[in-house]
């Protein structure tokens, strides 16, 4: 914290000089770190408000799980899955999404910046626009959602029946990181789309919030075409469905072979690359308001 | 007569204002449809496991999903009506100007919100519902009177919804920043209106409580009428009771709050 604070205090002019020499990725990460550190400090100035909104975020997502609990007060199984098994899917989806939302969730505000012309301010600064946009209004309160996901995952791990192998143990952190990366790619791709359709920002909610809601339930519930769509077209299934069914020892969706469970890192890398291309195309097509 | 026309104009303005953003409306329709799809599949699994859960059969449960998605914005179960703007006016002090206007503050905002709700019903409600009816097997009434009864319940739901959100907005007189209250109101509204799960599926005492709260007027009451699960008169009485109580409370709080307003400057 002290270290980032010191970096954040540095002058933009110095950064520009450094940026010219270092690679773009390092540059972007440094800008991201500086801006988030600034927003965290500004959030901490209103500590009570921070605690309340974090708690609010926690409750908001917790109610989501209460709905699942209410369902299980009436049934013992849903789509062949027990409550601990669904909690496992839920915890993975919610944690991965929460991490992505924490890291780049601010991207969904891009449409507003395009509309009111403040995106131009970001473009004249000597730091990648993507990093600035992702770190903009960095909301540490979103830790509330991550906390909720981790708690549900903890409950699942304590109650669910899994034949643990080393491969499965290793797959756990890989799954969370890849899942978060896939959701990050969705956020970035959604923001790129907002360059074109500024007012239609809500479409992205169908894939981000809709995506995480979908993944909280077992794949056996949904129509095959839908499962195919989120496996091969928008590969959200690799966030948890494909790897998690393997860990649980349940049949993989669409009869995929077992090795598919180890694909999430590759899928995540491909998604991020595509999202990066979409972002570039979007940014290049950007025309300022012009006044 | 003159005042009636004033509020009608305000309502028409509210309608036109929300109708301006066509791309946003189309995006909203798409999102509601996607969420509807996800919910339909989870409800189908639930009702397969326990047929006649909460007294609904599968077709009725699926219909409930599409009623919910169609009325979500109209009844602003999770907030998102005109109250955000009202809060902003209270925070910035613009409310002082509103209080000087020769119009009633509560009726003015009610008219604006009804205009908004009417647009959301047509613009955002109809298409997801039609989609649901085309793709799934819905339990829809064939007689006009049931549909009419449903629309009356929706209108009463709009009044109750406004009553709740007006009270939420007035808290800004004391708290200035309404983020926390808005968030809490959104969560309570979303959960207690039956957006997640029909309220008659809630077990035991929890079910009794949520069904008696005002939020059950928003979605559960109209849905039960359309599904032939409730009689119009007791439903209307319940909704109207809450509407009157909430709007009266809003009036009381407003008169207390108006005395707190200090107009700065000179």
What confidence tier does B263 reach under pLDDT thresholds 50, 70, 90?
A: low
Distance from chain centroid for Cα A130 = 15
What confidence tier does B96 reach under pLDDT thresholds 50, 70, 90?
A: confident
Distance CA B101, CA B2 (A): 15
φ, ψ of residue A81 to 5 degrees: the values are -110, 140
* B205 CB within 8 Å of a chain A CB: no
- Give me the mean pLDDT over the A55-68 stretch: 85
Q: In this complex, which of B31, B37, B44 lies closest to A202 when CB atoms are compared?
A: B31
Summarize pLDDT for A185-233 with one digit per residue, the tens. 999 999 998 888 767 778 888 999 999 999 999 999 999 999 999 999 9
In the block, tokens 């993507």 appear at A130
* Mean pLDDT rounded to a whole number for chain B: 90
Taking alpha carbons only, the member of A248, A228, A209 closest to residue A94 is A209
- Residues of chain A with pLDDT > 70, as a percent, come to 91
Distance from CA of A205 to the nearest CA of B (A): 7
Q: Are residues B180 and A53, on separate chains, in Cβ contact within 8 Å? A: yes
Beta bridge partners of A81: A78
Domains in chain A: boundaries: 1-41, 58-121+137-285
Summarize pLDDT for B114-163 with one digit per residue, the tens. 999 999 999 999 999 999 999 999 999 999 999 999 999 999 999 999 99
Distance from CA of A78 to the nearest CA of B (A): 6
Mutate to test the interface with A, among B30, B37, B42 (most CBs of A within 10 A): B42
For A81, the 3-state DSSP assignment is strand
* B209 CB within 8 Å of a chain A CB: no
In the block, tokens 């200035």 appear at B176
Report the pLDDT value the prediction gives residue A8, as an integer from 0 to 100. Answer: 46
- Give me the mean pLDDT over the A107-131 stretch: 85
- Residues of chain B with pLDDT > 90, as a percent, come to 66
What confidence tier does A1 reach under pLDDT thresholds 50, 70, 90?
A: very low
Mutate to test the interface with B, among A222, A225, A236, A241 (most CBs of B within 10 A): A222
pTM: 0.88
* Mean pLDDT rounded to a whole number for chain A: 87
* B53 CB within 8 Å of a chain A CB: yes
Report the pLDDT value the prediction gives residue A253, as an integer from 0 to 100. Answer: 93
Chain B CB contacts of A202 under 8 Å are: 24, 27-28, 30-31
Summarize pLDDT for A19-53 with one digit per residue, the tens. 454 577 888 889 899 999 998 888 888 787 788 88
Distance CA A173, CA B110 (A): 51
Residue A169, pLDDT above cutoff 90? yes
Taking alpha carbons only, the member of B157, B7, B18, B151 closest to residue B84 is B18
Distance from CA of B133 to the nearest CA of A (A): 17
Distance from CA of B57 to the nearest CA of A (A): 15
Chain B CB contacts of A74 under 8 Å are: 46, 49-50, 53, 201, 203
Q: Please report the ipTM that was assigned to this predicted complex.
A: 0.85
Buried b (16+ CB within 10 A) or exposed e, B129-166: bebbeeebebbbeeeeebeebbebbbbbbbbbbbbbbb
Taking alpha carbons only, the member of B154, B170, B159 closest to residue B242 is B159
What confidence tier does B193 reach under pLDDT thresholds 50, 70, 90?
A: very high
Q: Are residues A73 and B203, on separate chains, in Cβ contact within 8 Å? A: yes
Mutate to test the interface with B, among A75, A197, A224, A253 (most CBs of B within 10 A): A75
Domains in chain B: boundaries: 2-260
Report the pLDDT value the prediction gives residue B1, as an integer from 0 to 100. Answer: 52
Q: Are residues A78 and B202, on separate chains, in Cβ contact within 8 Å? A: no
- What percentage of chain A's residues is helix, strand, coil (to nearest 5)? 80, 0, 20
């Amino acid at each position: 914290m002290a270290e980032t604070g010191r970096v954040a205090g540095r002058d933009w002019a110095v950064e520009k000089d450094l940026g010219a020499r270092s690679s773009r990725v390092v540059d972007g990460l440094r800008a991201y770190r500086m801006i988030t550190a600034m927003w965290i400090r500004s959030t901490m100035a209103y500590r009570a408000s921070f605690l309340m909104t974090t708690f609010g975020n926690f409750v908001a997502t917790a109610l989501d799980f209460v709905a699942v609990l209410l369902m299980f007060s009436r049934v013992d199984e849903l789509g062949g899955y027990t409550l601990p098994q669904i909690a496992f899917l839920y915890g993975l989806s919610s944690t991965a999404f929460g991490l992505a939302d924490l890291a780049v969730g601010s991207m969904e505000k891009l449409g507003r910046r395009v509309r009111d012309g403040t995106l131009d301010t970001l473009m004249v600064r000597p730091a990648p626009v993507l990093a600035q946009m992702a770190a903009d209004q960095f909301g540490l309160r979103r830790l509330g959602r991550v906390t909720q996901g981790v708690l549900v995952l903890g409950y699942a791990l304590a109650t669910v029946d899994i034949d643990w192998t080393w491969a499965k143990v290793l797959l756990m952190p890989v799954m969370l990181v890849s899942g978060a990366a896939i959701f990050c790619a969705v956020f970035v791709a959604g923001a790129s789309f907002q360059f074109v359709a500024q007012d239609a920002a809500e479409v992205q909610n169908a894939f981000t919030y809709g995506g995480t809601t979908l993944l909280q339930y077992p794949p056996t519930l949904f129509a095959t075409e839908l499962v195919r769509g989120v496996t091969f077209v928008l590969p959200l299934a690799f966030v948890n469905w494909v790897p998690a069914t393997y860990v649980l020892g349940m049949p993989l969706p669409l009869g995929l072979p077992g090795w598919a469970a180890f694909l999430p890192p590759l899928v995540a890398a491909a998604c991020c690359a595509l999202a990066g291309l979409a972002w570039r195309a979007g940014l290049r097509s950007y025309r300022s308001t012009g006044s | 007569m003159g005042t009636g026309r004033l509020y009608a104009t305000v309502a028409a303005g509210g309608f036109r204002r929300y109708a301006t953003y066509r791309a946003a409306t189309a995006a909203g329709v798409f999102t509601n449809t996607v969420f509807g799809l996800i919910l339909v599949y989870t409800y189908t699994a639930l009702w397969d496991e326990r047929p006649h859960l909460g007294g609904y059969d599968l077709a009725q449960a699926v219909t409930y999903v599409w009623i919910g998605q169609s009325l979500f914005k109209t009844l602003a179960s999770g907030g998102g009506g005109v109250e955000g703007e009202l809060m902003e006016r209270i925070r910035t002090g613009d409310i002082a100007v509103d209080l000087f206007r020769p119009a009633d503050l509560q009726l003015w905002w009610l008219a604006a919100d009804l205009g908004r709700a009417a647009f959301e019903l047509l613009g955002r409600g109809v298409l997801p519902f039609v989609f649901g009816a085309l793709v799934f097997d819905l339990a829809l009434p064939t007689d006009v009177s049931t549909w009419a009864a449903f629309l009356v319940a929706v209108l009463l739901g709009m009044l109750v919804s406004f009553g709740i959100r007006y009270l939420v907005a007035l808290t800004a007189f004391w708290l200035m920043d309404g983020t926390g209250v808005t968030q809490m109101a959104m969560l309570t509204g979303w959960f207690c209106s039956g957006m997640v799960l029909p309220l008659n599926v809630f077990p035991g005492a929890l079910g009794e409580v949520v069904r008696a709260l005002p939020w059950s007027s928003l979605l559960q009451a109209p849905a039960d009428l359309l599904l032939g699960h409730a009689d119009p008169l007791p439903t209307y009485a319940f909704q109207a009771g809450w509407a009157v109580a909430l709007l009266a409370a809003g009036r009381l709080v407003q008169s207390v709050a108006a005395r707190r307003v200090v107009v700065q400057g000179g």
